[in-house]
Structure 1
Amino acid sequence: MKVVLTDSNKNTITLESKDIDGDGPNKPVITGGTLKANTTYSGVITLLNETETPADNITLEVAEEADEHQFFYSATAISNDFSGDFTYAGDNDSNGNPVGIKFTVKTGGTGEGSYVITLIHEPSKSVDGVKEGKIKNAGGSTDFEATFPIVIEAQALQVIKEI
């Protein structure tokens, strides 16, 4: 899973979970990121099966089978005042429910924690809260889940010198 986050100034942060041996003995290699506080990022998820050569883009399958898939997002222990506000963006399935390949996230105050992104296969999208992103009632089965370490740091202040 590769997640590219882009802010309004077109700065990008890439979060990645790579598991080259699939279900083999090695754990995935996880790359987290450092984001700016109180900033909105646009996110795009790409799923690749890199156990095959060339790598198979599973994102296309998820989009084609949109009625059967949904991504869910959560943030844990980022800061005391705000951990992350995720909103679905991009295309919906044929019933108008979110898929979540594209999303936005707004950061809050500074801190450290993680973002968890979960892809559920055959969620119950009509159940209360699911189309708003609440995984608790989603049912289905987990196709993929990754936990990315996140650091939220203060934005640098711009100092203007008067002459």
Structure 2
Amino acid sequence: MKTIKLLAIACISAITFASCSDDNPTPTNEEEVITTMRITLTPVGGGSDIVLESQDLDGDGPNAPVVTGGTLSANTTYNATIVLLNETEDPAENITTEVAAEAEEHQFFYTATGINPTFTYTGANDSNGNPVGITFSLASGSAGTGTITVTLRHEPNKDASGVSDGNIANAGGETDIEVTFDITVQGTVIAV
């Protein structure tokens, strides 16, 4: 008889615990899928656009991203615009609009190796007056060969030293996407 009572108590306890489960779990904020970064560089004063692009249609799959660099003219200023896409969707989802809508939580950073361009944030700032960097200008500098790396940080510390000027060293946050493009800066050929 004692065994039956203990078994009944155990069953009632199990039913009670099962019915108390949380029916309203906390929603998670999933990261956006970014398959493509496209940067269009338009020379100030005229000329053909240069398009830098990284496309990784299988995401973390076995295929490496296809990265297309470009050739810039020396001592030329370019106006640049970044577009981020999720091309796993049909039609492709423009992630750039979400970055703009969540401007306080995002910032692009630009660095160069082997060449000496100057980057300047342009376009709209976030509501605190800090840059986002969807648009920027690039002054190409002197001739050479190297790379330009473009990084999008999620929740950087925009008040940290140098961050609003584009220094990624103190930014913190998480990297949403980072792409390194091969770049050639060509000088003007003078006929003799």
Quickly say closer, same or farther: Cα 1:158–1:106, change in 2 above 3 A. farther
Match of 1:16 in 2: 53
Aligned residue for 1:47, secondary structure, equals: strand
Match of 1:126 among 159, 169, 172: 159
**TM-score (structure 1 length as normaliser):** 0.92
- How far has the Cα of 1:156 moved from its partner? 4.6
Quickly say closer, same or farther: Cα 1:150–1:93, change in 2 above 3 A. same
**TM-score (structure 2 length as normaliser):** 0.78
Query: What do you get for the CA RMSD once the two structures are aligned?
Result: 1.3
Which structure has the larger Rg? 2
User: Where do 5+ consecutive residues of structure 1 fail to align?
Assistant: none
Partners in 1 of 2:149 and 2:188 — Cα distance? Answer: 24
What letter is aligned with 1:6? Answer: T
- Report which of the two has the higher share of strand: 1
Partners in 1 of 2:190 and 2:42 — Cα distance? Answer: 20
- Kindly indicate whether residue 97 of structure 2 is the aligned counterpart of residue 53 of structure 1: no
- Report which of the two has the higher share of helix: 2
User: Where do 5+ consecutive residues of structure 2 fail to align?
Assistant: 1-36
Partners in 1 of 2:191 and 2:110 — Cα distance? Answer: 32
Match of 1:107 in 2: 140
Aligned residue for 2:156, secondary structure, equals: coil
Overall identity of the aligned pairs, in %: 59
Match of 2:100 among 63, 66, 69: 63
1:100-154 CA-partner distances (Å, limit 9, x unpaired): 0000010111111010000000000011100000000000000000000000001
- Greater relative contact order structure (CA < 8 Å, 6+ sep): 1
Give the number of equivalent residue pairs.
155
Match of 1:2 in 2: 38
